[in-house]
């Protein structure tokens, strides 16, 4: 379902990078503040679907050259993997490693948590599911 509106086409060029960037920001912010993998993934899926609306399916394939199934696999695998690793270390499932990481030259402190990998996995799943769902449904309608 492509909408051939020049306004949308041109503004999309501007909006798409912003939306993708904001999606990443929302995902990373989610550890301590509102946000998280689900929200980030939703924003990213919306961006990709809007891009498809303005530029067509071929353009979407160029932007996301993998089948949504692969994203779902990678995301679920990553989430499941990061939550299973603690089992091997004698810790309960889903236990997150937290700590502070100092950047080598500038000395900036960087707070990290292994739960971030889990969030990244969630984001991949949500992007895969969202895009896959819209693609399937709009193929049916076309």
Residues 103-142 contacting other proteins, CB under 8 A: 113, 129, 133, 136-137, 140-141
Is residue 93 part of the contact set for other proteins (CB under 8 A)? yes
**CB-neighbour burial class of residue 82 (10 A; exposed 0-12, middle 13-18, buried 19+):** buried
Nearer to other proteins, 22 or 38 (CB): 38
Is residue 59 part of the contact set for other proteins (CB under 8 A)? no
Shortest spacing between CB 51 and other proteins, in angstroms: 20
Is residue 28 part of the contact set for other proteins (CB under 8 A)? no
Is residue 1 part of the contact set for other proteins (CB under 8 A)? no
Is residue 85 part of the contact set for other proteins (CB under 8 A)? no
CB 99 within 8 A of CB 32: no
As separate numbers, helices (DSSP H) first and strands (DSSP E) second, the chain gives 5, 2
């Amino acid at each position: 379902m492509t909408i051939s509106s020049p306004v949308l086409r041109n503004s999309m060029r501007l909006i798409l990078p912003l939306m993708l960037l904001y999606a990443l920001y929302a995902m990373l912010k989610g550890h301590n503040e509102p946000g998280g993998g689900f929200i980030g993934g939703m924003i990213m899926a919306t961006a990709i679907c809007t891009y498809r609306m303005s530029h067509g399916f071929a353009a979407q394939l160029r932007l996301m050259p993998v089948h949504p199934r692969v994203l779902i696999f990678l995301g679920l695998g990553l989430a499941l993997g990061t939550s299973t690793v603690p089992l091997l270390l004698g810790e309960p499932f889903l236990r997150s490693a937290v700590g502070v990481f100092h950047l080598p030259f500038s000395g900036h402190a960087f707070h990290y948590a292994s739960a971030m990998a889990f969030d990244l996995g969630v984001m991949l799943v949500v992007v895969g599911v969202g895009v896959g769902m819209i693609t399937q449904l709009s193929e049916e309608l076309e």
